[in-house]
Structure 1
Amino acid sequence: MTEGDFGALDIDRFLRNADQQMARAGEFQKVLQELTGHAQDPDGLVTAECGSAGLKELILHPKAMRLNSGELAERIKAVIAEATADLQRRVSEEMGAVFGEENNPMRFAQDPEGGMQVLRQAETAYNRTYEDLMGELDRIRQRMEG
């Protein structure tokens, strides 16, 4: 980093972007509370609705009671899993709408290695910036001593 690079750092723009991201996060928090995922088994015997706090509703058709307990339990688990997956899909869509697809944090849920790659890149950039800054501070110290 050279002396001129410090002037290129636009603190105001950085703070505006941070403020915008915080506003988007607040907006998304409101949307998240309203989102639900829905699912129903093929026979229409078990229906589930999931929200951000978990299972919101489980509806068993009276005919579901004719199933043996094991089969009913399996259907309930499968429908809840589908409703949860539907909720995740909706959350990801809303995050993409609020934050933009490029900045959608949910994209790393489907691609954890991609998330790790972004973290490694950020770490490399941080380390390089730190080394440049420390070198510049050392040069300034040497000029002041000399």
Structure 2
Amino acid sequence: MSVLNELTAALSSGAIDVVDLTTPLSGDTPILNLPQPLANTVGLSLTPVSNFDDAGPAWAWNDVTVGEHAGTHLDAPVHWITGKDGKSVDRIEPHRLVGPAVVIDKSAEAAQDPDFLLEPEHFEQWQQEHGPFPENCWVIFFRTG
């Protein structure tokens, strides 16, 4: 059996879990806001073009306006001076987008403090409890309540 067939079989049987980390973008999607006098991008807005009506009887679509820093960034370091020489999302090799993942669950902390901030010691604490991060892993911090 080829590797691709084995992968397909494992996905079909549920032997491999796939977690969809996407989230819909909307006008409520948080955006990065910098303090004045620094410039900020716009939030997300949709302007209807047609909605199965006279403007487009067989389709619905919108014009989308969104600033670059809306939503989650998997290439976040490249947007800051400390990561300016890194790879933006269009330059990340596809094989780097698949790999083992660890989850740092700070939902209790976020419930107690809506301004909870993930700090380096939280990564160290996780490793003390679970061992070193797997090579080339994704560290996911999404259980924030």
TM superposition score category, shorter chain reference:
under 0.3
Which structure is higher in helix share?
A: 1
Q: TM-score, normalised by structure 1?
A: 0.24
Higher relative contact order (CA 8 A, sep 6+): 1
Structure showing greater radius of gyration is 1
Q: TM-score, normalised by structure 2?
A: 0.24
